[in-house]
Amino acid sequence: MKKHFAIIIFLLLAATSASGQSRVFPNMPYMVLNTRPGYITINEFGTGIGISSKSFPYSKYFYGITSIHGYQLNGSMVIAGGTGLLLYNDGPVIPLFLDLRYRLLVDNLTIYVYGDGGFLLNPKELNAKTMMFVNAGPGARFTLNPTLALNFSPGLQIQMGPDSRASFINFRMGATFKPR
């Protein structure tokens, strides 16, 4: 009797385990942001803390928002242009820049590297206070559904103007939208 009972328990456990292997939809479905070529937009809030000499204008801190619009070449590469409004310790600037992103791992949690470069336009004095900048770093993007993802990225920004040079550690977080 014990032998038959043990065989029945074993078969029930084996059947339960085997039926779990054939589920069509797992508890958390695998999702990737749309990888087809086409339009993509990335909107981010950002902040930066100055790490070099903070005695020059526009060198202590900044915060603001940027909007990047561009073209996704394939599942790994994005080329885009962006603008926004950054509020520095000495006043506002308007960034105009080119954004390049390369995704190293395309998955639900996607790891990427990015590089930005362009100009910081001072609306008060366009000729005298315009600066150039470069910004690069790693990032992570978490896919919510096939058209929307959240992203976070730290980076290092260096800016150069006619009378100053400054470096920042910056952090950006926002949302990526890729239509179907």
In a domain, 13, yes or no: no
Domain of residue 64 covers 38-177
In a domain, 20, yes or no: no
pLDDT digits (tens, 9 = 90+) for 2-54: 666 666 666 556 655 555 554 444 555 567 888 899 999 999 999 999 997 77
Element housing 85 (H / E): strand 77-88
In a domain, 2, yes or no: no
Domains of the chain: total: 1
CATH number at residue 141: 2.40.160.20
pLDDT digits (tens, 9 = 90+) for 100-117: 999 987 778 899 999 999
What local confidence, expressed as pLDDT, does residue 22 receive? 47
In a domain, 4, yes or no: no
In a domain, 170, yes or no: yes
In a domain, 30, yes or no: no
Residues 6+ apart with CB under 8 A from 97: 81, 82, 83, 116, 117, 118, 119, 133, 135
Q: Rounded to a whole number, what is the distance in angstroms from the first to the last CA of the chain?
A: 61
Q: How far apart, in whole angstroms, are the C-alpha atoms of residue 132 and residue 83?
A: 14
What local confidence, expressed as pLDDT, does residue 5 receive? 63
In a domain, 19, yes or no: no
